Amino acid sequence: MNTTSPNAELKYKKLIWALSIAIPLAVAVLFGIRIPGVERLGFLPPIYAAINGFTAVVLVLAVIQIKKGNRKAHESLMKTAIVLSALFLVMYVAYHMTSDSVAYGGEGVLRYIYFFILISHITLSIGIIPLVLFTYVRALSEQFDKHRKLAKITFPIWLYVAVTGVIVYFMISPYYPA
């Protein structure tokens, strides 16, 4: 699917930036909404933490496959990573629409480490949206030089977001209500 015409490029850029703004805004708005009559979905955090872990593994496997020259496997793995990230986001929002936020109860240096990881995770999870989408569109439009160049930036940030999502879960899980 080669869609490198200037009009297609502009259309994708506008769509990507619109999504990159709309998704974090929607998540922020949905955080403030509670679904009436729905019990707390307390089973979701370990599931979406595992999804973050799977995403990290899939990302690493995708890089290994492209380095081996296996473009088809790389493409399948990257599509899987995108689906996993979307699934994570849906579950994360659903949990927070049925549950109050959990305060981190750790003290001392661990508290500072937790908040550093949490804040960098949240900030980069917002920033990764346009990076993933632009990287993906460049591959779809067969702009492989541009794709490769941007992927070298996108991959480590996306991997960091996936891994720190798991770390945040393990650090806060002792403080979840029973």
- Give the start-to-end residue ranges of the domains of the chain: 6-33+43-175
Diameter of the chain by CA atoms? Answer: 55
Q: Report pTM.
A: 0.92
pLDDT at 3 over 80: no
pLDDT-based confidence at residue 36 (cuts at 50, 70, 90): confident
Domain at 6-33+43-175, CATH class: mainly alpha
Contacts 24+ apart (CB under 8 A), 84-90: 84/51, 84/54, 84/55, 84/58, 85/55, 85/132, 85/162, 87/48, 87/51, 88/48, 88/51, 88/52, 88/55, 88/165, 89/23, 89/27
> CA 166, CA 175: separation in Å to the nearest integer?
15
What does the pLDDT look like over 113-155, one tens digit per residue?
999 999 999 999 999 999 999 999 999 989 999 999 999 999 9
* Other C-beta atoms lying within 10 Å of the C-beta of residue 173: 12
pLDDT-based confidence at residue 11 (cuts at 50, 70, 90): confident
What does the pLDDT look like over 55-99, one tens digit per residue?
999 999 999 999 999 999 999 999 999 999 999 999 999 999 999
